Structure 1
Amino acid sequence: MDVLSLRFAPPSLPRASSFPSAGKEGGIGIARFLNGKKLFITGVTGYLAKVLVEKIMRAVPDVGKVYVLINAKAQDAARGRLINEIINCELFRCLRQIHGKSYEAFMMSKLVPVAGNITSPSLGIREDLIDSITEEVDIIVNSAGSTTFDERYDMSLAANTQGPCNLLTFGQRCRELKVFLHVSTVYANGKRKGNIKEMPFHINDHTIIRDNLDGEDKSPSPMPILDVEGEISLATRHAKDLEAPLTKQALKELGSKRAKKYGWQDTYTFTKAMGEMMIDKYRGDIPVVIIRPSIIEGTHEEPFPGWIQGNRMIDPVVLSYGKGLLTSFLSDEKTVIDVVPADMVVNAILAATVKQGLTRVSGIRVYHVGSSVANPLLLGELFRLFYVHFNTTPFMDSRRRLILVRPIELFNSKDGFLNFLNRESLNGGHLAEGASSSEGIYGKKAESIRRKSLERTKYIARLYEPYTFYDGRFDNSNTERLMESMSEDEKVTFRFDVRRIDWTDYIPNIHIPGVRRYVAKEDLHCRL
């Protein structure tokens, strides 16, 4: 078996019925609480919610119905996506192994596809379905949203700010609702520095804006006052006023401009923060949990190591570096990059949901799920681990030649970084796969390749700069206390202790092989 395949064999799993019974020796009682409960989950064709659904089906097979909101115009289309993108997904292969021939029947007996969209009023769900769903749903989990840093402002607001409000309005109609859980991001804290506490955001509390703008170059004008609903109106007006060819780029620039005005890195983090503010404003007496994960990457252990979906935050850098297209980067090697595996986030979601569901306390509880405090990883070490992996298991180009990499050059100044890039380009660097000097380095094709690769490197560096120089650590005291309240059995079944992560194993031996297999779709049977 080749080196990349070793970490992808399905683990020897206990059968679903043999998972430890919750509450047997104290603890929260996670599985016991979830038994028979009805859940409504959004974002299920995306990465995190898909891992969540898999874990629920495997660890709590006696759960009641799980309604899954799927972006589709009709129920038949939603059912098709459920089958094709969830039930037939490789992520669920361990469940298929457990249930054998009855796997599909089991999944269809639990998962109920619901056609709709979180950005639509009443979620775009047929009225007759709304009545039946709201009669019995106990738990709502919102994992839908846009994670694109530079998304159009109107679209990012619709998904990350208005969407949670639409779902909360839906939750107000659920007679049995015990908890509303919303997945945000630690970076919704904007440019806050130092030890960042697990505190909720309030719509009229502008402390976060003051903290984010503290120390920045700013005019003597008064502190800007954030009007969330005014931002929504602003984006809507711009979208209507602009002509089609100009709309996309202009709305991207508007989002970036508004985010920076109030002290956020980009449109994504700004709209996620405003989504939390709107949840606080309209939650009423609903018990709310806000889970703020850091950079979510490949699974650590469950259902098997390394599974990932989509080209996520650090993964474009991983792939570009491995293919020889990225030889330098703009970053401070001493910056802590906060990474957390998806399965740990999912386990924290389940533990926090049940904890809040049992107490039924009105209010908001915030949990940071990340590693920057408990198990910090420096950017310099991260890039070193990239080299460790690709130095021993390099990519091959289209002609099956090894793509050799060298340790990446890190620059903490823009001038030094840009000067290096220009020298590299003039010397024939930044060549795409297969474009070596023997193929006419001064030809028009090679020149075009160099130019495009150079621009892409600059774009990636500019996009990631707020994170590669980030000066904050995300306090996880609430998450630590949540873990302490679990029984020993629960700590095994619903594990999310980030201190257990060995970065020197996880990054080169689990995460990067997962990216190569599931994102780059590399043929592992053709490895050296």
Structure 2
Amino acid sequence: MREIFVEKTYEDQSVFVSGATGFIGKVLVEKLLRDCKKIKNIYILLRSKKGDGLAKRFENFKNSIVFNNLRKIDASIFEKLIAIEGDLMQPKLGISESDEEYLSKNLNIFIHCAASVRFDEPIRVALQMNTISTRNMLQLAEKCDNLKGFVHVSTAYSNTNQKIIFEKIYDPIIDYKQFLDLFEKNDDQELDALCQEALKTFPNTYVLTKHLSEKLVSEHDHLPITIVRPSIVTPSNMEPEMGWVDSQNGPMGVLLGASSGILRTVHGNGDLICDLIPCDFVANCVITAGASISSSPTKSLEIYNCTSSQQFNLTWNEFLEMGRQTYMQYPSIKVFWYPGGRMCANYYFYLLYFTLFQFIPACLIDICAVLAGKKRWAIKLQRRIFDSINVFKYFINNSWTWDAKNCQLLVQRLNVEEREKFNFDVSKLDFDKYVEHWVIGSRRFVMKLDDSTIPEAKRKFVFLFWLDFTVKSLFAVLFGYLMLKMYAGISNRSVIKMS
């Protein structure tokens, strides 16, 4: 079994990272700087924005919270970080000819994790961001004089038309070249028609374009390529900080909404197995996969399903209950009502719960706001919650089985001294402890709450518990009274008819 030496492989190498400003990208760059100390340079692709030139965006990136600990240890390490101006939405990644020539002479390893993670993106945008940008990245890699490895970060959901997903390339249901041909011809009518046909099989344009991209990547088998497929990426376990997160997508948004008492119901099957993977595990897997392909004598395509459900047979209901129990120990001061609610597999029951416990209360809140001369906000917020849950519901109403033998073997191939440092061994993850890290991290990094507010939050939590209990009791009494009145009325009418 070929042994992998991560630090040695990245020593004196120049790495190009796309998507460095994203959730996974930030953790990845921080890890490379911190634990691959002899790395030569890390080039990151940055897009200028109106009012924010490249220099300002780069400075903002280096000042990200994710680098706080690294700055304290060695601020000079950021000298290895170099920004390249570009744009995934532009031809040739928007990189200038001079930069392209420079990169082709200096780059050794590509890590392509840039993508649009919006599930409802129009097909033209999704293709450009997720498929065409991948092709452009591969074309740049082909020009490099000393390319050693190319890591494509895909998704475990790229083949949702399969119930058991193996670590292999699946033929797309429609040839990706048809999509690219129509895109380049600007034939939007035919492109939309082709997309609608494909969406009979796939849930959204994100999954579809990731599905197409894998086939495109696999056809560049003359390059040293590896594909990593993470499942639902969640807050970190330990690095760069315990529970670090800067994204509110997916389960993070559900947890925040539920913990604040605003979200009371979710349309999903709580008995299905969930698959969650900490972002630091994903970063470590990507870095190790890059080291593996870069040091491989054969350079043949390597694919890794970076998933957790093969180790943790955890349902959504069990996960949410773990979160609820943990949240009682670390509640938020920014709570609107006592947390509660349920997942509803039946869509009509979900609509009923949503109407009764979210929409009607939101209407009452907005009426009170108008009467008090304040701005309405509750209905708008509930509409956003409803739309975001609708987008995410496909993944909590379906389940898949991932084969992850390659990923497990990749862990074993890591040399013993580096297994702890670049840990992504799911079998050794204490999930109960991890959920605790998740809840603590959400307080610190998303809600921006200091740990000193926990005692006050617990007092508020107790008050809201009794308020919630009182309101529910009054409603139960009122409901019982109305039912008795109704029953008495029916009985009286029956007596009158009999007489």
Give TM-score, length-normalised by structure 1.
0.79
Distance 1:341 1:480, change over 3 A: same
Asked if structure 1 preserves the Cα contact closer than 8 Å seen for 2:12 and 2:40, the reply is: yes
| 2:440 alignment counterpart | 513
Cα distance in 2 for partners of 1:239, 1:339 equals: 38
| 2:343 alignment counterpart | 410
| 1:106 alignment counterpart | 77
Distance 1:447 1:384, change over 3 A: farther
How is 1:104-503 mapped onto 2 (pairs within 5 angstroms)?
105-108=76-79, 110-193=80-163, 195-201=164-170, 205-206=171-172, 209=173, 226-234=174-182, 257-261=196-200, 263-281=201-219, 283-397=220-334, 403-424=336-357, 428-429=360-361, 435=365, 440=368, 451-503=379-431
| RMSD of aligned residue pairs (Cα, Å) | 3.1
What percent identity do the matched residue pairs reach? 25
Q: Which moved more, 1:288-297 or 1:63-72?
A: 63-72
Cα distance in 1 for partners of 2:102, 2:186 equals: 38
Distance 1:305 1:523, change over 3 A: closer
Cα distance in 2 for partners of 1:241, 1:278 equals: 23
Cα distance in 2 for partners of 1:358, 1:447 equals: 60
Distance 1:335 1:450, change over 3 A: same
Alignment partner of 2:47 out of 71, 83, 102: 71
- Which secondary structure does the structure 2 equivalent of 1:231 belong to? helix
- Which secondary structure does the structure 2 equivalent of 1:112 belong to? strand
Measured after TM superposition, the shift of residue 474 of structure 1 is 1.5
Measured after TM superposition, the shift of residue 321 of structure 1 is 1.0
Asked if structure 2 preserves the Cα contact closer than 8 Å seen for 1:325 and 1:453, the reply is: no
Cα distance in 1 for partners of 2:195, 2:352 equals: 26
Aligned length: 454
Measured after TM superposition, the shift of residue 227 of structure 1 is 3.1
- Which secondary structure does the structure 2 equivalent of 1:68 belong to? strand
Give TM-score, length-normalised by structure 2.
0.83
Cα distance in 1 for partners of 2:43, 2:384 equals: 40
Distance 1:449 1:491, change over 3 A: same
Distance 1:412 1:165, change over 3 A: same
How is 1:34-73 mapped onto 2 (pairs within 5 angstroms)?
34-72=10-48
Asked if structure 2 preserves the Cα contact closer than 8 Å seen for 1:73 and 1:116, the reply is: no
Q: Does 1:94 align with 2:69?
A: yes
Measured after TM superposition, the shift of residue 170 of structure 1 is 0.4
Distance 1:423 1:90, change over 3 A: closer
- Which secondary structure does the structure 2 equivalent of 1:45 belong to? coil
Counterpart of 2:259 in structure 1: which amino acid? Answer: G
Q: Deviations over 1:259-284 (max 9, x none)?
A: 422x1121111111111121123x15
- Which secondary structure does the structure 1 equivalent of 2:308 belong to? coil
Cα distance in 2 for partners of 1:185, 1:241 equals: 28
Cα distance in 2 for partners of 1:35, 1:447 equals: 56
- Which secondary structure does the structure 2 equivalent of 1:292 belong to? strand
Measured after TM superposition, the shift of residue 27 of structure 1 is 3.4
Measured after TM superposition, the shift of residue 375 of structure 1 is 2.1
| 2:467 alignment counterpart | none
Cα distance in 2 for partners of 1:366, 1:348 equals: 11
- Which secondary structure does the structure 1 equivalent of 2:423 belong to? coil
Cα distance in 1 for partners of 2:195, 2:441 equals: 32
Distance 1:474 1:72, change over 3 A: same
- Which secondary structure does the structure 2 equivalent of 1:84 belong to? helix
Cα distance in 1 for partners of 2:49, 2:72 equals: 33
Measured after TM superposition, the shift of residue 69 of structure 1 is 1.3
Asked if structure 2 preserves the Cα contact closer than 8 Å seen for 1:40 and 1:68, the reply is: yes
Cα distance in 1 for partners of 2:430, 2:221 equals: 42
Measured after TM superposition, the shift of residue 127 of structure 1 is 1.3
Asked if structure 1 preserves the Cα contact closer than 8 Å seen for 2:148 and 2:294, the reply is: yes
Q: Deviations over 1:369-415 (max 9, x none)?
A: 11011223210012112322333443335xxxx54434422211112
Measured after TM superposition, the shift of residue 236 of structure 1 is 6.6
Cα distance in 2 for partners of 1:274, 1:315 equals: 27
Which structure's CA Rg is the greater one?
Answer: 2
- Which secondary structure does the structure 2 equivalent of 1:471 belong to? coil
What runs of 5+ residues in structure 1 fail to find an aligned partner? 1-25, 210-225, 243-250
Distance 1:258 1:510, change over 3 A: farther
Asked if structure 1 preserves the Cα contact closer than 8 Å seen for 2:107 and 2:147, the reply is: yes
| 2:9 alignment counterpart | 33
- Which secondary structure does the structure 1 equivalent of 2:295 belong to? helix
- Which secondary structure does the structure 1 equivalent of 2:389 belong to? helix
What runs of 5+ residues in structure 2 fail to find an aligned partner? 457-499
Asked if structure 1 preserves the Cα contact closer than 8 Å seen for 2:33 and 2:77, the reply is: no
- Which secondary structure does the structure 2 equivalent of 1:347 belong to? helix
